[in-house]
Amino acid sequence: MNSSELKGYLTGLIFGDGYIDHGVTNRAFRIRSINKDFIEKIYNDLSSCTNFKMSIIFHKGGFANGCNHKDRWELYIKAHPYFAKKYHHFYDDFGKRVVTKDSLSWLNDKGLANWYCGDGYICLVGKNKGEIKDRRLEICTDRYSKETVEKMSVMLKNKFNLYTSLIKRKNSYRIRIKKDSYETFFNLVYPYMPESLKYKLWFGYDFQPKWMGDEMWKLQENLRSAIALTGNAEG
């Protein structure tokens, strides 16, 4: 990756589960996931194009603070001037997550895939009531203000031709990708996602919905076969 591609790659991580530590001249970067493959992929990708000093840390799951926690892997990048220079494109003076015109412009295909790997999911509409009525692609943006999520939504349309809507979740808003943009979205992110996370693109249909084209249905069938072989259905 060149410097521009690196910015876009890291932007997707930071929009999602990645975060930059507080500091002054140098700042560290961290990202955690219950999917080991994702963390190892990031490590390998960055090792090939940066001089970052990195390590992977394992956090054993268990019961704590009233919750059961799964095993997690953390990629830790030692404090580096690179992240100090980028910090205020992602956080305000109080450490709250924001975006800037620049950070929105940096996001690229690889970064979009990273963002979805971390915070994307398929929402099963009606599951809580015992009957799944629909399946929708969404990105969790609970840590951002409504205004910021709106800016992200506009960016997705202008830069990637992805049409989205905002979905209210209690006191926050999430991004829902519209069905007309599913195929475009799949083509953008599929090549850059680790195999063990591609289940996040599988809708779980036993039949081809009327709205789904033949090419996309073929991909869904391939994903079904891959998931059946690996038994991977969460991450």
Q: Encode pLDDT of 37-69 as tens digits.
A: 999 999 999 999 999 999 999 998 887 777 788
Q: How confident is the model at residue 230 (pLDDT cuts 50, 70, 90)?
A: low
Give the pLDDT confidence score for residue 69 in this predicted structure: 80
Q: How confident is the model at residue 231 (pLDDT cuts 50, 70, 90)?
A: low
Fold of 3-95: Endonuclease I-creI (3.10.28)
The residue ranges of DSSP E strands in the chain, in sequence order, are 19-20, 27-33, 54-59, 62-64, 67-69, 72-80, 120-125, 134-139, 164-169, 172-177
Counting other chains too, the contacts that 156-164 makes at CB distance below 8 Å and 24 or more residues apart are 159/104, 159/105, 159/107, 160/112, 160/184, 160/185, 160/188, 162/188
| Mean per-residue pLDDT over the chain, rounded | 89
Q: Encode pLDDT of 132-188 as tens digits.
A: 667 889 999 999 999 999 999 999 999 999 999 999 988 999 999 999 999 899 999
Integer Cα distance of 56 and 9 in angstroms: 18
User: How is residue 220 written in tokens?
Assistant: 């869904």
Backbone dihedral angles phi then psi of residue 210, each to the nearest 5 degrees: -60, -30
Give the pLDDT confidence score for residue 222 in this predicted structure: 80
Give the pLDDT confidence score for residue 135 in this predicted structure: 82
> Position 17: which residue type?
D
> Position 93: which residue type?
D
Contact 201, 193 (CB under 8 A): yes
Give the pLDDT confidence score for residue 127 in this predicted structure: 59
Q: How confident is the model at residue 223 (pLDDT cuts 50, 70, 90)?
A: confident
**Distances in whole angstroms, Cα of residue 92 to Cα of each of 5, 38, 42, 88, 96:** 24, 28, 26, 6, 5
Backbone dihedral angles phi then psi of residue 142, each to the nearest 5 degrees: -60, -25
Q: Encode pLDDT of 8-23 as tens digits.
A: 999 999 999 999 997 6
Backbone dihedral angles phi then psi of residue 170, each to the nearest 5 degrees: 55, -110
Give the pLDDT confidence score for residue 24 in this predicted structure: 66
Quote the pTM value.
0.87
Give the pLDDT confidence score for residue 233 in this predicted structure: 47
